[in-house]
Amino acid sequence: MAEGFDIDHLAKLARLSLTAEEKALYSSQLNQILGHFQALADADLPATIDDARVVNEDALRSDEPGLVLGAEAVTRIAPASRDGQISVPRVVDDES
Amino acid sequence: MSNVPSDWEVVIGLEVHVQLHTRAKVFASSPWGFGKAPNEQVDPVVLGLPGTLPVVNREAVEKSILFGLVVGSSVPEHCSWDRKNYFYPDNPKNYQLTQKDFPVVVGGQVEIELPGASRNVMGEHKFIRIHHAHLEEDVGKLSHAGSGSLVDYNRAGVPLLEIVTEPDLRSSAEAEAFLRSLVAMLTQAGVADCDMEKGQLRCDCNVSIRRRGADKLGTRTETKNLNSISSVRDTVIYETARQIRELEAGHSITQETRGWNAELGRGYVLRDKEDAHDYRYFPDPDIPTLKISRETVARLAKLVPENLYDRQRRYVEKLGLPYTAASVLVNDRALAEWFELAVAAHPTNPSGIANLVANDLLRDLAASAGAAGSFDEAVPAPVSLSSCPIKPAQLAGLVKLTDEAVISKQQAKEVFAEMFKTGQDAAAIVDAKGLRQNSDTGELEKIVQEVIADPAVAKSIAEYRAGNEKAINALKGPIMKCTQGKANPVLIDQLLRKFLG
Out of B41, B43, B288, closest to residue A59 by CB:
B288
Facing residues of A85 across strands?
A: A82
B85–A13 CB contact, under 8 Å: yes
B63 shares its domain with B205: yes
In a domain? residue B75: yes
The predicted pLDDT at position B419 comes to: 94
B451 shares its domain with B364: no
At which of B433, B459, B489 does a domain end? Answer: B433
Helix axes B441-453, B473-482, angle to 10 degrees: 120
Out of A53, A70, A82, closest to residue B288 by CB:
A53
The predicted pLDDT at position B160 comes to: 98
Tell me the CA distances in angstroms from B195 to B17, B100, B199, one per residue in order: 12, 27, 6
B216 shares its domain with B133: yes
Helix (H) or strand (E) holding B179: helix B172-188
User: Strands B82-85, B95-98: parallel, antiparallel or unpaired by DSSP?
Assistant: antiparallel
B420 shares its domain with B447: no
The pLDDT profile of chain B, 501 residues, written as one tens digit per residue, is 445 777 999 999 999 999 999 999 999 999 999 889 999 999 999 999 999 999 999 999 999 999 999 999 989 999 999 999 988 899 999 999 999 999 999 999 999 999 999 988 999 999 999 999 999 999 999 998 788 999 999 999 999 999 999 999 999 999 999 999 999 999 999 999 999 888 999 999 999 999 999 999 999 999 999 999 999 999 999 999 999 999 999 999 999 999 999 999 999 998 665 555 688 899 999 999 999 999 999 999 999 999 999 999 999 999 999 999 999 999 999 999 999 999 999 999 999 999 999 999 998 888 876 544 445 555 556 667 888 899 999 999 999 999 988 888 888 999 999 999 999 999 999 888 877 776 667 778 888 888 888 888 888 888 888 888 888 888 888 888 887 777 777 778 888 888 887
CA distance A76 to chain B (A): 11
- Got the DSSP string for B254-271? ---EEEEETTTTEEEE--
Task: Please give the residue of chain A at the shortest CA–CA distance from B141.
Answer: A85
When scoring B29, B47, B52, B61 by the number of chain A Cβ atoms within 10 A, the one with the most, hence best to mutate, is B29
Out of B89, B146, B270, closest to residue A91 by CB:
B89
State the average pLDDT for chain A.
Answer: 87
The predicted pLDDT at position A96 comes to: 42
A57–B290 CB contact, under 8 Å: yes
- Asked if B196 contacts B202 with a C-beta cutoff of 8 angstroms, the reply is no
- Asked if B161 contacts B71 with a C-beta cutoff of 8 angstroms, the reply is no
CA distance B325 to chain A (A): 38
B58–A50 CB contact, under 8 Å: no
The predicted pLDDT at position B101 comes to: 93
The predicted pLDDT at position A1 comes to: 41
When scoring B78, B90, B151 by the number of chain A Cβ atoms within 10 A, the one with the most, hence best to mutate, is B151
A53–B289 CB contact, under 8 Å: yes
A12–B290 CB contact, under 8 Å: no
| Count of pairs with CB atoms under 8 A, one residue in A, one in B | 150
A56–B57 CB contact, under 8 Å: no
Of residues B381 and A40, more confidence is placed in A40
Task: Sort out which chain A residues have CB atoms less than 8 A from B88's CB and list them.
Answer: 91
Q: Following CA atoms B329, B332, B337, B341 in sequence, which dihedral angle do they give, to the nearest 10 degrees?
A: -50
Out of A65, A90, A93, closest to residue B31 by CB:
A65
Structural domain including B246 reads: 8-300
B38–A84 CB contact, under 8 Å: yes
In a domain? residue B1: no
Q: What whole-number distance in Å separates Cα of residue B429 and Cα of residue B424? A: 7
Task: Please give the residue of chain A at the shortest CA–CA distance from B260.
Answer: A95
Q: What whole-number distance in Å separates Cα of residue B324 and Cα of residue B306? A: 19
Task: Sort out which chain B residues have CB atoms less than 8 A from A53's CB and list them.
Answer: 288-289
B144–A94 CB contact, under 8 Å: yes
B231 shares its domain with B323: no
B449 shares its domain with B311: no
Domain A1-45 -> CATH class: mainly alpha
Q: What whole-number distance in Å separates Cα of residue B497 and Cα of residue B494? A: 5
In a domain? residue B2: no
In a domain? residue B3: no
At which of B398, B433, B468 does a domain end? Answer: B433
The predicted pLDDT at position A28 comes to: 94
In a domain? residue B476: yes
Task: Sort out which chain A residues have CB atoms less than 8 A from B59's CB and list them.
Answer: 62-63
Q: Which of B33, B58, B469, B75 is nearest to B294 (CA)?
A: B75
The predicted pLDDT at position B249 comes to: 94
- Asked if B245 contacts B209 with a C-beta cutoff of 8 angstroms, the reply is no
CA distance B60 to chain A (A): 8
Residue A68 in this model has a pLDDT that exceeds 70:
yes
CA distance B348 to chain A (A): 45
B289 shares its domain with B371: no
Domains of chain A, by residue range, sit at 1-45
Tell me the CA distances in angstroms from B140 to A85, B69, B88, B152, B484, one per residue in order: 11, 30, 10, 6, 69
A54–B291 CB contact, under 8 Å: yes
Q: How many distinct structural domains can be found in chain B?
A: 3
ipTM: 0.82
A61–B296 CB contact, under 8 Å: no
Task: Please give the residue of chain B at the shortest CA–CA distance from A5.
Answer: B280
A15-31, pLDDT tens digit by residue? 899 999 999 999 999 99
At which of B282, B300, B318 does a domain end? Answer: B300
B311 shares its domain with B380: yes
The predicted pLDDT at position B1 comes to: 45
B129 shares its domain with B260: yes
In a domain? residue B224: yes
Q: What mean pLDDT is predicted for residues A43-69?
A: 86
The predicted pLDDT at position B434 comes to: 79
User: Strands B201-211, B221-226: parallel, antiparallel or unpaired by DSSP?
Assistant: antiparallel
- Asked if B412 contacts B398 with a C-beta cutoff of 8 angstroms, the reply is yes
Residue A2 in this model has a pLDDT that exceeds 60:
no
Facing residues of B45 across strands?
A: none
